[in-house]
Amino acid sequence: MTPSASILLVDDDRHLAESMALWLREMSHQVETVATLSEAKQALATRRFDLVMTDLRLGGEDGFELIGYTRKKFPDVAVLVITGYATPETAVEAVRAGAYDLLTKPLIDDELTLAIERAIGQREITRQNEELRQQLDRRAGLENILSHDYRMLKIFDVVDSIADARASVLITGENGTGKSMIARAIHARSQRRSGPFVEVACGALPDTLLESELFGHVAGAYTGANTDRAGKFQLADSGTLFLDEIATATPAMQVKLLRVLQEFQFEQLGGTETHSVDTRVILATNENLSQAVEAGRFRQDLYYRVNVVNIVLPSLRERMGDLPLLVDHFLREAAETCGRDVDGFDMDAIETMQAYAWPGNIRQLENVVERAVLLGRGPVLTVEDLPPELTGSGADASTSLTAGSAPTVSLGDVSGKTLREALEGPERQIILQTLRANHWNRAATADDLDINRTTLYKKMKRLGLDDPRLQFA
């Protein structure tokens, strides 16, 4: 059922406006009708509205001026354009000016009802996002981790619980899910926050250099070592040491790490003096360490030592309800950095991003938003401003799959993935598009996909499609 809304209806056809207002009132909406641009501006200044519905031709006046005025002066009011003279170019221009959607006369009742429902729903999501952003900004150490997904909220609680413990923490998750940010949040919320936070990318260094980097060396330890040098464990004393890509450590390095994590004592490379430190160690990997142990690539005793507390970060496709919030955050950052005046993405662009599997997760999303801000041609960014891998229209997009009447989807880059991982993206896109086509009726969606409802529910949960906020995105 469409929620009740306060609507300003702007149309110079008095008969049509009153007829539509009567129908809207029967739908439990509060409606005020005006015929001119000046009357609309006066109404907006004297009363709070949820939605403005306007024609583009208001006698001798231009409805585009009202769209721009509303967007600038009352950004929390959604604008829905209704016109009998629409062209594809008109629709694009209206959306870029700030309209939520454009409908053509004569109107279909169900189409208008759905458009109003989505416009109000999106407005409510925007309001909730702003409230959540303000709440998150008050969480010291978590201000840059934007989420209202229940999985991430549980992780925030874990961060609070373990912040002051000395036990090692293992953060696992795909590349780009924000493991470094969680590590920094743990440090920032701990009593060690005044101490140093030192980060080491273990996979970026060969074994000999990694040992010197972690434990330091004495003069003469190797060619070019002319002076003593403190290692990262010493530099992080009284603070936190974050070891990223720990699964890349060689067996010899794993032995040395096991000792220092047990005793917090070590010798520098080439030295004999034993050093003791008070360092909190957080480790991260994108690999499954239990499988690495079974394969003999990772020591079992080291695995048990580092896996005292395991924080598993969900992929972006598993928390797709967060995408609008993250997009808005990255867009504001990119617009400020690039000096661009950008209002945001239109709904088609948001839906395209939500249908994508995001193998590079949040890091990839940030890059996509920054690219769109840099290359966008107007204040409202569209699907045309997204890279080819999202739209499936470029040279580097893969061949599409079509099965009967199923949606057309792109496989994307499948190199290095298991069959299940490679199929997650297309499967998610097909289910999402079918849900939208059936207005989120799960029974009808299951019938269209020729699967039972229990299977559909399990797939939706696994693919991050069980978030009810997606229905209004």
Domains 6-134 and 150-312 share a fold: yes
Q: Which amino acid is at 118?
A: R
Instruction: Determine the average pLDDT of the residues in 443-464.
Output: 84
**pLDDT tens for each residue of 180-225:** 999 999 998 898 988 999 999 888 788 778 888 899 988 887 777 7
Average pLDDT (240-266) is: 92
pLDDT of residue 457: 81
Mean pLDDT of the 414-421 span: 64
Render pLDDT for 276-318 as a digit per residue (tens, 0 to 9). Answer: 999 999 999 999 999 999 999 999 999 999 999 999 999 998 8
Name the average pLDDT for the chain: 83
What is the percentage of the chain residues whose pLDDT exceeds 70?
Answer: 88
Q: Report how far residue 298's alpha carbon sits from residue 164's, in angstroms, rounded to the nearest whole number.
A: 28
Mean pLDDT, rounded, for 120-137: 66
Tell the CATH superfamily of the 6-134 domain.
Response regulator (3.40.50.2300)
**Most trustworthy range by pLDDT among 359-368, 400-409, 411-420:** 359-368
Pick the CATH number of 316-472 from 1.10.8.60, 3.40.640.10, 1.10.3720.10, 1.10.10.10: 1.10.8.60
Domain ranges of the chain: 6-134, 150-312, 316-472
Mean pLDDT, residues 46-50 taken together: 88
Beta bridge partners of 296: none
How does residue 402 score in pLDDT terms, banded at 50, 70 and 90?
very low
State the pTM of this model: 0.57
Q: What architecture is domain 150-312?
A: 3-Layer(aba) Sandwich (3.40)
Label residue 399 by pLDDT band (50, 70, 90): very low
Flag whether pLDDT at 89 surpasses 90: no
Q: In a 10 Å sphere around its CB, with 0-12 CB exposed, 13-18 middle and 19+ buried, how is residue 43 labelled?
A: middle
